């Protein structure tokens, strides 16, 4: 009962915040994400990100910094099929002898919402996307590598380290949000989009392909596109219960690329897990044509 009440409060709080944002200014209708450049802790905290101070505390903590250092000390996997999972050993001073770096303030990582994909939600900015994670990049490259710290919401409030990923594209795209615009991802095809009022514009090649090469589409038309792509592949569907992940990729250059390495944090040590995106996408395509 307590969990239900807490869930209801958090849902109501988010709806209230979004309603306030919309009421404040028509020109800033979509300012429901963090600022393009994360604000220092002394500035007003983003109202759209719950428990943002907890997120700041997390990325500035010694434990998260140590986890990043261990990640950066681990060789990048080659991406070969069947490559064993690498274990990152605990060390007393994981950041010793590494170049000095800081972890930037977290930014909102928004994704298309299941209800929007299913067509049960209206094509409105407040219904189209949901905040799923926070992402932070490093202030500089370390030994030629960039990395992204990914935070997930903690049950009951707050944020915790969910993963550390090679590269910083998520944070770069999330940082393109400005006053009056919303940035979100269609993770199934690694597409990134910017939503201006009710117009969807692509930010990368995968997104442009997802829009069929169009420079922009209405939010309503975008909903039709993603509904056609994923509505019958959502969690709980036959596609999902047959052992496939929800969603699928349209043919693109990304199909033959291997996903970046992912550090799954947990306990006193962590495992470096490699997700072979190309193999999964090829398996999906064969299944859909077989």
| pLDDT given for residue 91 in this prediction | 74
| pLDDT given for residue 76 in this prediction | 77
Rounded distance between C-alpha atoms, residue 16 and residue 19, angstroms: 5
* Highest-scoring range by mean pLDDT, 87-96, 212-221, 252-261: 212-221
How many Cα atoms sit within 13 Å of 210 on the Cβ side? 31
Task: Please check whether residue 147 is in contact with residue 161, taking contact to mean a CB–CB distance below 8 angstroms.
Answer: no
User: Average pLDDT, stretch 43-51?
Assistant: 73
| pLDDT given for residue 154 in this prediction | 96
- How does the average pLDDT of the chain come out, rounded? 74
Q: Which two tokens stand for residue 180?
A: 């009056």
| pLDDT given for residue 135 in this prediction | 98
Chain centre to alpha carbon of residue 123: 21
| pLDDT given for residue 257 in this prediction | 34
219-221-222 Cα angle (round to 5):
60
pLDDT at 194 over 60: yes
| pLDDT given for residue 289 in this prediction | 41
Q: Compute φ and ψ for 199, nearest 5 degrees.
A: -115, 130
| pLDDT given for residue 23 in this prediction | 32
| pTM metric for this prediction | 0.69
pLDDT at 21 over 70: no
User: Average pLDDT, stretch 247-262?
Assistant: 38
User: Average pLDDT, stretch 263-274?
Assistant: 36
pLDDT at 229 over 70: yes
Chain centre to alpha carbon of residue 207: 15
| pLDDT given for residue 85 in this prediction | 63
pLDDT at 199 over 90: yes
**Which of helix, strand or coil describes residue 274?**
coil
Within 10 angstroms of residue 79's Cβ, the number of other Cβ atoms is 17
């Amino acid at each position: 009962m307590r969990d239900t009440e807490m869930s209801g409060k958090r849902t109501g709080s988010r709806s209230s915040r979004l309603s306030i944002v919309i009421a404040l200014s028509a020109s800033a209708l979509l300012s429901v994400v963090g600022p393009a450049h994360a604000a220092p802790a002394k500035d007003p905290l983003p109202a759209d990100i719950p428990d943002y101070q907890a997120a700041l505390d997390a990325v500035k903590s010694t434990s998260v910094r140590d986890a990043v250092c261990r990640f950066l000390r681990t060789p990048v996997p080659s991406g070969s099929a069947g490559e064993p999972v690498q274990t990152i050993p605990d060390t007393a001073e994981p950041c010793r002898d590494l170049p000095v770096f800081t972890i930037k303030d977290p930014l909102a990582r928004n994704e298309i919402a299941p209800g929007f994909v299913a067509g049960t939600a209206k094509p409105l900015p407040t219904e189209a996307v949901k905040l799923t994670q926070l992402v932070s990049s490093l202030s500089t490259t370390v030994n030629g590598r960039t990395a992204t710290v990914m935070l997930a919401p903690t049950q009951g409030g707050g944020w915790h380290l969910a993963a550390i990923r090679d590269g910083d594209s998520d944070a770069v795209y999330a940082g393109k949000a400005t006053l009056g615009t919303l940035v979100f991802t269609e993770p199934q095809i690694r597409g990134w989009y910017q939503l201006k009022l009710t117009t969807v514009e692509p930010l990368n090649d995968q997104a442009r392909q997802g829009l069929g090469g169009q420079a922009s589409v209405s939010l309503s038309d975008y909903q039709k596109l993603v509904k056609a792509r994923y509505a019958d592949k959502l969690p709980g569907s036959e596609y999902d219960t047959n052992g496939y992940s929800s969603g699928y990729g349209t043919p693109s250059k990304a199909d033959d690329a291997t996903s970046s390495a992912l550090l799954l944090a947990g306990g006193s040590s962590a495992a470096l897990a490699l997700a072979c995106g190309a193999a999964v996408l090829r398996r999906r395509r064969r299944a859909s044509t077989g």
